[in-house]
Chains A and B, each alone.
Chain A
Amino acid sequence: MLKVQNLSISFVTRIGVNKAVDNVSFSVEPGKITAIIGESGSGKSVACCSLLGLIPSPPGIIENGRALFDGIDLLKLSEAQLQKIRGSDIAMVFQDPMTCLNPYMTIGDQLTESLRYHQKARRKEARQRAVELLQEVGIREPASTIDDYPHQFSGGMRQRVMIAMALINEPKLLIADEPTTALDVTIQSQILQLLADIQKQRNIGILFISHDLAVIADIADQIIVMQEGKVVETGTRSDIFHNPQHLYTRKLLAAIPTDCKQATLPKSEPLIEIRDLCTWFQRDKAPLKAVDGVSFDIYRGEVLGLVGESGSGKSTIGRSILRLVNVTRGQVIFDGLNITALGPRELKKLRSRMQFIFQDPFASLNPRMTVYETLAEPLLLHGIEDRSTVSTSVLRLMDNVGLARSFARKYPHEFSGGQRQRIAIGRALATRPEFVVADEPVSALDVTIQAQILTLMQELGREYGLTMLFISHDLAVVRQLADRIVVLQAGKVVEQASSVNLFSQPQTTYTRQLLQSIPGRGLLKSKIAHD
């Protein structure tokens, strides 16, 4: 149905020419899901967006190639001709449903406008059609919610709206660009299921772009692996997963977290005891009970995984322990001290013993401070080093987190996401803390980078003798690192167990549901059996 041949795209800027897509060929067949896999910067999104003329030009230039869609070369069409195909024959679903819907328009208006434009449908018919589609993609009570604005929907629901929007003109080909990357694991599995169902029912072709092999392990028919603008391997799903040829494909497969940390620690005394912790946020009427009566211990030297969907209160617990938010009720006892009762001065003394690693390394580093300044700041602030000795400590820290010493004078924007997270980890470890809260430290990163950072955290944890609270929505990641896991739902503890036990004998239905949403379960099982 779609045949892309020898596609090359360059971005011409003042700095130079960047060949984003280099002689790429692939095809998409009707009734099949074709996945393009690659890290950020591999050119996968650029290649697909160029088919519909959606890359910014300049600086983007399509240098060469053909893209035959039902025999028509998309790359030769005029803007007006392309526009007739966009949204009608070929539709797109984008990554971030939070920013891809217009916040100023009701979802009904956004759904129907392309139907009204392409098929000249009447307002009433279009609305009727939109309600049916919303029903089909699993929006509850579509007849009334159709007049709501995007901010009134959750992330998963917005992505369903995006999918309905893409389907409204009955496209033959659906291009889905990382459609589940911004979503929780459980929501991700629902959206993947929805896409697979739609593909079967409507017999359309889907081109699925992702950085994560595990995500498409259950649904893709054909897989194309891209690296640095080139296609390195193409094959069926079983080819890629069971008989990968290219080194890079093997590396991607190896990066999927599969192993489970075996609890090796003898039981020590708890470093942190959390008793009946409640953190409520004041809202107009009833308080939002983000954390509601949570109790658990964190033992010295262990990594405790804290797992739950977004809104389950896991980040709030991390922030409550460090007193970054005000606790409503309950106690947090750190090494015999009740943190919840401390005044600001005593708290400052404790700050150097407990640190925080944030999710988004782009937002959490000060863009106007060099790496050196970022790492030196906590050392000087807590009086651990003075001006004369700080530089050796900073350089040693950079060695530890795997940053070249020559980077010391660079600013955050000059680094990739993985390198930035290394800086953030370095900053957290600078004061040699005993306890670190890591809040989704790898969820903004590509899979291979994710694996590197997890390994780094494991090594540093051992070296520094750290106690860690590792917060994540992704069970597969957590179990690689955590000795024990606490599962949260709606601000309450649902289950806690050692990682091995939690995965082999989940006790509650919620935990079972979470385990079932891990992408590529089948793959994991076969791989574990294989090992």
Chain B
Amino acid sequence: MWRFIGFRMLQAIPVLLVVITVTFFLIRLAPGGPFDSEKAVIPEVQAALEAQYRLNLTLFQQYASYLGDLSHGNLGPSFKYPGRSVNELIAAGFPVTAELAFYALLVALVIGGIAGVVASLKPNSVQDYIPMSVAMIGICMPSLLLGPILILIFGIYLDWLPVSGWNDSPGDKILPAVTLGSAYAAYIARLSRAGMLEVMSQDYIRTARAKGLPEWQVISRHALRGGMIPVIAFLGPAFAGLLSGSFVVETIFQIPGLGRFYVQAAFNRDYTMILGSTIFLATLIVFFNLLSDIVAAWMNPRLRDKLRAP
């Protein structure tokens, strides 16, 4: 197993290098720079600033020195928040984003899993069509739209839940988690329905029924384990997607997460912040993909033996 993990880690290095390089040169292509502003700045000040942030060097020198810093885990100073490093900013924003993503994933897993399993039990019936249609809507509706709708209904008309903030008032985490998780819930519903349908037609399900087990035991003991493997394999990419895609929800609900820093950094041409967040998220995506591959393999006894082999 360690060899497998080690091999995958090695594979991640070229992937990350490509991400770094492409991002580095792409943001430089964007018009404007971090210190361009409406007001004219004295040329000496501008030059001093550029020298401080090494912007006076050639592009390739900047690239080389950035890679050099990166190899020590140093993501550089922020261009827009003087005196603070990108590492500090990520450390401040990430826990909030991670918490939000975790709740969203929980919402997605519970709602999506239940809907998918329920739908799979009676395929092509009302019990199948209703959850699957809702799932389709969930996939189609962007959080940009769903968030305000939920705010209107639950925050304003019904006045049940707070509509913004994070850790300010009880229940303020519910709406963002639901908004962020709903698209993934829909996706998980479709995955688990397909997985369950596949498993329920297997011979060993007939064996389980022939043993005289009640249907709920046939499903919970025999079908779920195999049927949920595609969902498990999807959880890693889903969590990574939730982390990197949370900025819309963070903006709607005024949450001080990494996503908002990320988007603002792009507007501000905060080169190091954009690069740092991108690298950080890319690393997480690689890591969670690997993690869910391992867990999915571990759940299958036939693959487990192969993982165990040195």
Give the B-binding residues of A (Cβ under 8 A).
Answer: 52, 54, 83-88, 91-92, 94, 96, 99-105, 113-114, 117-118, 149, 151, 162, 165, 284
Contacts and interface: CB of A to CB of B under 8 A. Distances in A.
Given A86-B210, A99-B203, A118-B212, A104 B301 contact: yes
A185 B204 CA distance: 24
A377 B214 CA distance: 52
Contacts of B212: 83-88, 114, 117-118
Contacts, number: 76
Interface in B208-253: 208-214, 217, 221-222, 225-226
B221 A113 contact: yes
Given A101-B204, A102-B204, A113-B221, A54 B210 contact: yes
Given A87-B213, A114-B213, A96 B203 contact: yes
A85 B209 CA distance: 11
Nearest to B207: A100
Contacts of B299: 104
Contact of A117 (B206, B217, B226, B301): B217
B211 A94 contact: no
Interface of B: 202-204, 206-214, 217, 221-222, 225-226, 299-302, 309
B156 to A, nearest CB: 48
B203 A94 contact: yes
A104 B214 contact: no
Contacts of A101: 204, 207
Contacts of B302: 103, 149, 151
B211 A113 contact: yes
Contacts of B209: 54, 86
Contacts of A92: 207, 210
Contacts of B206: 54, 94, 100
A374 B222 CA distance: 40
B215 to A, nearest CB: 8
Nearest to B221: A113
Given A83-B212, A118-B212, A100 B203 contact: yes
Nearest to B214: A83
A421 B128 CA distance: 39
B275 to A, nearest CB: 42
11 contacts: A83-B212, A83-B213, A99-B202, A101-B204, A102-B225, A102-B226, A103-B226, A104-B299, A113-B211, A117-B211, A117-B214
B210 A102 contact: no
Nearest to A92: B210
A480 to B, nearest CB: 32
A165 B211 contact: yes
A43 to B, nearest CB: 18
A165 B309 CA distance: 31
A114 B214 CA distance: 10
Given A94-B203, A100-B203, A100-B204, A52 B210 contact: yes
A110 to B, nearest CB: 8
B152 to A, nearest CB: 44
Given A96-B203, A149-B301, A149-B302, A105 B222 contact: yes
A377 B133 CA distance: 45
A102 B301 CA distance: 11
Given A118-B212, A149-B302, 4 more contacts: A100-B206, A102-B226, A104-B300, A149-B301
Contacts of A114: 211-213
Contacts of B222: 102, 105
Contact of A87 (B202, B211, B226): B211
B73 to A, nearest CB: 37
A137 B226 CA distance: 28
Contacts of B226: 102-104
A282 B300 CA distance: 23
B212 to A, nearest CB: 3
A102 B207 CA distance: 9
A165 B207 CA distance: 10
Contacts of A94: 203, 206-207, 210
Nearest to B204: A102
Contacts of B217: 113, 117
Interface centre among B211, B214, B301 (most CB of A within 10 A): B211
Contacts of A85: 212
Contact of A103 (B204, B210, B211): B204
Contacts of B214: 83, 117
A103 B212 CA distance: 19
B301 A151 contact: yes
Interface centre among A102, A105, A117, A151 (most CB of B within 10 A): A102
A103 B301 contact: yes
Nearest to B309: A284
Contacts of A118: 212
B203 A105 contact: no
Interface centre among A85, A88, A94, A100 (most CB of B within 10 A): A100
B127 to A, nearest CB: 15
Contacts of B211: 86-87, 91, 113-114, 117, 165
Contacts of B204: 99-103
Nearest to B217: A117
A87 B309 CA distance: 38
A87 B217 CA distance: 14
A88 B211 CA distance: 7
A117 B213 contact: yes
A105 B220 CA distance: 12
Nearest to A148: B301
A83 to B, nearest CB: 5
B10 to A, nearest CB: 20
A104 B205 CA distance: 12
A315 B207 CA distance: 31
Nearest to B301: A149
A66 to B, nearest CB: 21
Contacts of A91: 210-211
A87 B301 contact: no
B197 to A, nearest CB: 13
- For the complex of A and B, the 10 pairs showing the least CB-CB separation, nearest first, are A87-B212, A86-B212, A87-B211, A114-B211, A149-B301, A99-B203, A104-B225, A92-B210, A102-B204, A100-B203
Interface centre among B207, B213, B222, B309 (most CB of A within 10 A): B207
Contacts of B225: 102, 104-105
A104 B202 CA distance: 13
B238 to A, nearest CB: 22
Contacts of A52: 210
B205 to A, nearest CB: 8
A162 B217 CA distance: 19
A480 B15 CA distance: 61
Contacts of B203: 94, 96, 99-100
A105 B223 CA distance: 11
B21 to A, nearest CB: 38
Contacts of A86: 209-212
A93 to B, nearest CB: 9
B145 to A, nearest CB: 40
A102 B203 CA distance: 9
A86 B206 CA distance: 11
Contacts of A151: 301-302
Contacts of A149: 301-302
A91 B208 CA distance: 11
Nearest to B205: A102
